[in-house]
Amino acid sequence: MFNATFYLRRLHSLCGLLVLGMVLFEHIFTNSMAIFGPQALNGALAMMELIPKPIFLGLEVGGIAIPLLFHGIYGIYIALQAKNNPGRFGYVRNWNFTLQRWTAWYLVVFLIWHVGYLRLYTKGVTGTPISYELLQNYFQSPIVVLLYVLGMFAAIFHFCNGITTFCMTWGITKGPRAQTVVSYLSMCLCALLCLITLTFMGSYLI
């Protein structure tokens, strides 16, 4: 019998790891150019402008907006069904499960603000190009910096812990030892990406 829930879950999982994971890596890579100064970041942003507008828009809609909306909306449905119990059992895995849900909730609010303000309003409505100078001005407020760092940490943890759950969902890691190794490696990746984020965010403040 056709099991819609099974296929929706699998699609949600693939969307999160492959599509949104690639978006996250691209985002961290481009933004890390700020570490090398205004010219490097503006150069990286200008390279993207070389992509013909209709193709770029198609990539934004088909490669980011639709997968993100699907993953986000179906994710809210999954999160509403979850029973969080970190305090009751205290296992690392229970905590990771709960943090996966908490970061998802933070991401819903953060991504609406981030995409809404920078992509839709600033670039889309006012036609102001995103540049190092614009971001430096934006990050004058310590509250904005704090909420952005938390948003990036949430996305990074959510993605990296997602690698562990993805490998279990798809039967890639079957035994407990393999699951522990993947979990350890994905938390190392999480620490590395958070460090890169702190470095490029910090470069706006000095």
Q: Which stretch binds ligand HEM (CB under 6 A): 18-26, 43-51, 145-153, 176-184?
A: 18-26
Question: Cβ(184)–Cβ(161) under 8 Å?
Answer: no
155 lies in the site for ligand HEM, by CB under 6 A: yes
Among 78, 134, 181, 194, binds ligand HEM (CB under 6 A): 78
Among 76, 178, 188, 198, binds ligand HEM (CB under 6 A): 76
Determine the angle formed by the axes of helices 21-32 and 38-49, rounding to 10 degrees: 140
CB of 181 to ligand HEM, least distance (A): 17
Pick the closest to residue 6 from 102, 74, 98 (CA basis).
74
148 lies in the site for ligand HEM, by CB under 6 A: no
Q: Which stretch binds ligand HEM (CB under 6 A): 45-53, 54-62, 139-147, 161-169?
A: 161-169
CB of 71 to ligand HEM, least distance (A): 5
Nearest CB to ligand HEM, comparing residues 165 and 183: 165
Nearest CB to ligand HEM, comparing residues 6 and 89: 6
Cα 31 to Cα 45: distance, rounded to the nearest angstrom: 9
List residues binding ligand HEM (CB under 6 A): 9, 13, 16-17, 20-21, 24, 71-72, 75-76, 78-79, 100-101, 104, 107-108, 111, 155, 158-159, 162, 165-166, 169
